[in-house]
Amino acid sequence: MSFDRLRRREFITVIGGAAAWPLAARAQLAAMPVIGFLHSGSPDRFQHVVQALLRGLAEAGYIEGQNVAIEYRWAHGQSDHLPALAADLVRRQVSVIFAAGGTPVIFAAKAATQTVPIVFIGSDPLRFGIVSSLARPEGNVTGLGLFTASLAAKRVGLLHDLVPSATTIGFLCNPNYPTLDAELQDMQEATRAAGLQLAVARVSSEEEFAAGFAALASERDRALVVAADPFFTNLRDPLVALAARHAIPTVYFQREYVAAGGLMSYGNNLTAAYRQAGGYLGRILKGVRPADLPVIQSAAFEFVINTSTAKALGLAIPPALLAIADEVIE
């Protein structure tokens, strides 16, 4: 065989092999189970919990890109986009849907399919009709229940301990959020039990923030609770900035607000919840039915306080509060 013919054969072999590799890779990818990820927020706000979800999946034996694929769908704070995003995941025949970032996300996933398994992270799943039983969820839905909207009394109590002079507690909320009535009722009961006045500020867009804060700032001896709503998470920075500008002591429902300069937060530990959800996703990928997995009530809470923000507001943090804080940001 001539040298030229040998080189030509080698060239054809190399080219053929190069063409075969992408086909093999595509075949491997097609054979992988696919998780449909549905979330109300934006990836830049929630990467830390996505990493926790991936850790939980890895502990269950699934590595993204190796033996499982994930189709991400983010609503970027636009709840009206959720039904279309959920329907798209169902059309793509995903193996399981992970739904998180608020009750509307779970409702959208449930409306899109009664057959594809759904693992959710959601607030008070019994109270809001996500499942009819925690021990034996029916149909295709299971997951983790948070107490996000039912922690009003604890948040009011923490504010009262830090700012005992506050006689009025503001409640910043979004009138369009489906679970608002339940959380508002909790706030009314909590402030009434503490002998405090409640001032409600309803805002549904960033443009309304300034007026809402101005109304609260006009109240004497006041402090503020921010509703547990993903709408506010997507607007976290301007929210924290306005609380600082108006010098209103504020408690939030997630530590990320405090890391961004907010005063304090009390709520579920989302990192722990997402990691647990990753484990549930792994079990479903291995063939366990959602109805055979009880809904887990997340018992991991965290109280976070920012001492620099407290100092800027002229607040002295009682030693008893510092002693119970899970994290102190300076």
Number of other CB atoms surrounding residue 59 within 10 Å: 12
Using alpha carbons, list the distances in angstroms from residue 135 to 106, 107, 139.
19, 20, 13
Q: Taking residues 281-292, what's their average pLDDT?
A: 97
For residue 117, what pLDDT band results from cuts at 50, 70 and 90? very high
Query: For position 20, what pLDDT does the model report?
Result: 43
CATH superfamily of 28-148+269-301: Response regulator (3.40.50.2300)
Q: Is the pLDDT of residue 221 over 50?
A: yes
**3-state DSSP assignment of residue 290:** helix
Pairwise CA distance, residues 313 & 247, whole Å: 6
Q: Rounded to the nearest 10 degrees, what angle do helices 180-193 and 152-162 cross at? A: 40
The strand pair at 264-268 and 301-306 is best described as antiparallel
The pTM for the full model equals 0.84
265 CA to centre of own chain: 15
Q: CA torsion angle for 21, 27, 30, 33 (degrees, to 10)?
A: -90
pLDDT, tens only, 2-43: 434 433 443 333 333 434 445 444 545 557 999 999 999 999
Give me the amino acid identity at 1: M
Q: Which residues pair with 11 in a beta bridge?
A: none
- Mean per-residue pLDDT over the chain, rounded: 89
> Which of these ranges, 74-78, 129-133, 218-222, has the smallest mean pLDDT?
218-222
* 212 or 244, greater pLDDT: 244
> Which of these ranges, 26-30, 310-314, 321-325, has the smallest mean pLDDT?
26-30
Residue for token pair 């920075």: 237
Query: For position 150, what pLDDT does the model report?
Result: 66
Contacts of residue 167, defined as CB under 8 A and 6 or more positions apart, other chains included, come to 196, 197, 220, 221, 222
Q: Are 329 and 306 in contact (CB under 8 A)?
A: yes
Q: Which residues pair with 70 in a beta bridge?
A: 35
Q: Is the pLDDT of residue 256 over 50?
A: yes
The strand pair at 197-202 and 168-173 is best described as parallel
As its CATH architecture, domain 149-267+302-329 has 3-Layer(aba) Sandwich (3.40)
> Which of these ranges, 46-55, 109-118, 142-151, has the smallest mean pLDDT?
142-151
Q: Which residues pair with 143 in a beta bridge?
A: 120
- Going from N- to C-terminal start, the domains of the chain cover 28-148+269-301, 149-267+302-329
Query: For position 284, what pLDDT does the model report?
Result: 98
Query: For position 220, what pLDDT does the model report?
Result: 84
* 234 or 226, greater pLDDT: 226
Q: Is the pLDDT of residue 298 over 90?
A: no
Q: Where are the strands (E) in 207-263, listed by range?
A: 222-226, 250-252
